[in-house]
Amino acid sequence: MDGEKFNWKGRLGPMELLVSGATFTPSTITTIMAKDLTINSGESVIDVGCGSGILSIIAAKLGAGSVIGIDQSPDVVDVGNYNAEKLGVADRIRFYQGDLFSPIPEDLKVDVIIGDVSGIPDTLANYTGWFPSGKGGGTRGCELPIRMLTDAAAHLKSGGRIYLPTGTLQDENKILEAARSMYRNVDMLAERKIPFPNEFAESDVARELIESGTISIASRGTRYLWIGRAWLISEPY
């Protein structure tokens, strides 16, 4: 099928992936998530915001018994199936197109949910072009992750867990406040300083988001940095 090749160099790599114009290309956050992902043999997994399917594929390679990948990308099924087939795990992964958990039965429960959903403000997503749809995680970049956390509780088995990324390019505090109000355990697994291109950091879009308290960017000499974090969340109230 049509698309571009992407060389994944993160966990279990290198792996060559197909990405399309509508598919979110794996990022530094994806790499952080993959590094700290624990999957026990036979566990069931939902990968929300799966994009090219890389975290679904890694979950399967780590021993998951079944994986469901979901994304809003119109060609996620074709792209995901192509990559899973090429990398030898298509027998354990099914891909669906849709909003968050909407394509799956309401009573379906799994051991692990990977929630790598869009998490920057819509204006910043549109300006940077980082998301194919031009849409991020809402006005403050926290609305979609919070909605994911709200819906995720109904799909967790007893003892199940969620892997969630956050960062200072969104209203991170709002996400963590929501997470702690819904789940007993919210533990940080990792954090990393990530370069933020000067052209974006010095833009009017970024300035307005900084002034509103939505995002936070640090400077080091002539460089700008933001912080990405990975969290392990469990035990819904």
0.85 cut: is pTM over it?
yes
pLDDT value of residue 130 = 84
Judged against a pLDDT cut of 90, whether residue 118 lies above it is answered with no
pLDDT value of residue 119 = 82
Return the minimum-mean-pLDDT range out of 17-26, 102-111, 189-198.
17-26
Q: How large a percentage of the chain has pLDDT more than 90?
A: 87
Q: How far is the C-alpha of 44 from the C-alpha of 64, rounded, in Å?
A: 6
Compute CA distances 113 → 47, 48, 50, 155, 208, whole Å: 6, 7, 11, 8, 33
pLDDT value of residue 133 = 67
Written as one string, the DSSP assignment of 108-169 is --EEEEEE----S-HHHHHHHT-STTS--SSTTS-HHHHHHHHHHGGGEEEEEEEEEEEETT
Amino acid letter, residue 76: V
Judged against a pLDDT cut of 70, whether residue 134 lies above it is answered with no
pLDDT in tens, 71-105: 999 999 999 999 999 999 999 999 999 999 999 99
Q: Domain ranges in the chain?
A: 26-236
Kindly report the CATH number that applies to the domain delimited by 26-236. Answer: 3.40.50.150
Average pLDDT, the chain: 94
Verify cis geometry, omega within 30 degrees of 0, for the bond prior to 14: yes
| CA pseudo-torsion sign 33, 148, 143, 176 | negative
Q: Is 88 helix (H, G, I), strand (E, B) or coil?
A: coil
Q: How far is the C-alpha of 5 from the C-alpha of 208, rounded, in Å?
A: 35
Judged against a pLDDT cut of 80, whether residue 136 lies above it is answered with no
pLDDT in tens, 154-198: 999 999 999 999 999 999 999 999 999 999 999 999 999 999 999
